[in-house]
A = this chain, B = another copy of it.
């Protein structure tokens, strides 16, 4: 018997599975922060304000102190303090919470997860401010990516895992005919069992969007989840954990199925907890060094890691040159290039870019793109809504360090913010380099730093892109080409580099956007990520089937 919460969300789950199967546009969550009126935004702001200079409440075991220390990229003081709990206490609590969660079964677990998502949806505005002031995202993006789109990704993972678990029946009678003898009959029960304790390691830029798939995929498949936020973006995941725990409690389950593990940059705990024998699943988003460390050291666990890559754009020809420039300018500027999907390398051949009005030289293309970025950001209010703020001072330092790597097509400049005088706002740095300067452009330069790379021909552009994406990884690959033959070559490159490709985005869709229920985010097969959000493998690896066989009566 499933819990009544399953019946309550059954239609939603069924619709979500249908969406995954058909992969058109679908979302059950509200994308417009203004849809519920200005009051809801104000209420969200006030809820966020209440956390400042205060103690965040979480009733978790193993309390050993309090910690925190996030700083707003918008320059306001946060001073939120969180309970710090011992990792061993959280692991022990997680383990003892699991048996009844396992027995609840896939339907009930999916219903509970859908309810957690629904309650998080009602806290979307509060979440938006929490995300804005930890990641530096502009408000609208913080709302959209941090709440509805993150919830979409969470529900997608729940639905995908639910479908996968439901492929296994609860019970079967195996009856094998025997010549001249009674049939052999065995009654078989099948139990979907979790791998163990799951650890979700959040990132500083998209703490909810990148964590919800792993969190909900692990939880719905029966695992208990410990959430370890990035020390710079704790609040969004603390709210998430608080909502999850309250929901579990309200529905009669152990709240310790989801807990928060807080550390600081000065005293990190991730390595220690990630290698505990009971931790059997790890979801990670962040820098490639630590991702690789996890893959090499947390051998007792399945590691789902999204690391980093060098996303490429190849520009050969277009039917809409202005649209191309506008689209690329936005793509490079959105949240100051702090998206794992932002292109870093734009390859253009010396033969230039063919357009309906003639060929634009590679030289000119660089200047035009710089101009397009300038035009996009000339209005400070719009610039603030596009760029947001730089999450980490290290990214600002990186902009400065990269300036000397090539000819500056458009320099990065510090910009005032209309609301927050101390906000860390910097416009994108656009450099021009020859194809030979791979030391400069050939590794990830996280932040608003891009390179126009001049090649001898489009075939060289494709070859450089392929090598980069194969060796360094990529989550996006964007190609502007009207010629079907070039498109075919680009598809072959995409197949060999195992990266998805987008052609001729000149309108209102941007290559850095990835839509739940429709887009597979990362393929999981090149160095940028070893997992895909969300394919079958992302969910199927989180549970096993334990069988009980008995002679049938």
Given A525-B544, A540-B536, A545-B532, residue A193 in contact with residue B498 (CB < 8 A): yes
A178 to B31: give the CA distance in the assembly, Å.
11
Instruction: Determine how many copies of this chain the complex contains.
Output: 2
Q: Which residue of B lies closest to A541 (CB)?
A: B537
A547 in the interface, Cβ–Cβ < 8 Å? Answer: yes
A504 to B551: give the CA distance in the assembly, Å.
7
Range, interface on chain A = 35 or more
Q: Which residue of B lies closest to A511 (CB)?
A: B549
List residues of A (131-170) whose CB comes within 8 Å of B's CBs: 163-164, 167-169
Q: Which residues of B contact A545 (CB under 8 A)?
A: 520, 523, 532, 535
Structural contact, A191 and B503, CB atoms closer than 8 A: no
Structural contact, B525 and A195, CB atoms closer than 8 A: yes
Given A23-B188, A167-B536, residue A541 in contact with residue B544 (CB < 8 A): no
A28 in the interface, Cβ–Cβ < 8 Å? Answer: no
A551 to B550: give the CA distance in the assembly, Å.
56
List residues of A (494-536) whose CB comes within 8 Å of B's CBs: 494-495, 498-509, 515, 518-520, 523-525, 532, 535-536
Q: Which residues of B contact A547 (CB under 8 A)?
A: 500-501, 519-520
Given A184-B508, A188-B519, A190-B23, residue A499 in contact with residue B546 (CB < 8 A): yes
A24 in the interface, Cβ–Cβ < 8 Å? Answer: yes
Determine how close the nearest CB of chain B comes to the CB of A31; give it in whole angstroms: 9
Structural contact, A188 and B518, CB atoms closer than 8 A: yes
Interface of A is mostly: mixed
Determine how close the nearest CB of chain B comes to the CB of A421; give it in whole angstroms: 33
A49 in the interface, Cβ–Cβ < 8 Å? Answer: no
Determine how close the nearest CB of chain B comes to the CB of A45; give it in whole angstroms: 23
Structural contact, A500 and B546, CB atoms closer than 8 A: yes
A295 to B300: give the CA distance in the assembly, Å.
11
Structural contact, B551 and A509, CB atoms closer than 8 A: yes
8 Å CB contact of A551 from B21, B25, B505:
B505
Structural contact, A515 and B174, CB atoms closer than 8 A: yes
8 Å CB contact of A501 from B495, B505, B548:
B548
Q: Which residues of B contact A515 (CB under 8 A)?
A: 174, 176
Structural contact, A525 and B193, CB atoms closer than 8 A: yes
Q: Which residues of B contact A169 (CB under 8 A)?
A: 21-23
List residues of A (16-31) whose CB comes within 8 Å of B's CBs: 20-25
A536 to B538: give the CA distance in the assembly, Å.
11
Structural contact, B540 and A535, CB atoms closer than 8 A: yes
Structural contact, B494 and A546, CB atoms closer than 8 A: yes
Determine how close the nearest CB of chain B comes to the CB of A16; give it in whole angstroms: 13
Q: Which residues of B contact A58 (CB under 8 A)?
A: none
List residues of A (184-198) whose CB comes within 8 Å of B's CBs: 184, 186, 188, 190-191, 193, 195
Q: Which 7 A-B pairs have the closest CB atoms?
A: A536-B540, A23-B172, A500-B547, A537-B540, A502-B549, A25-B176, A523-B544
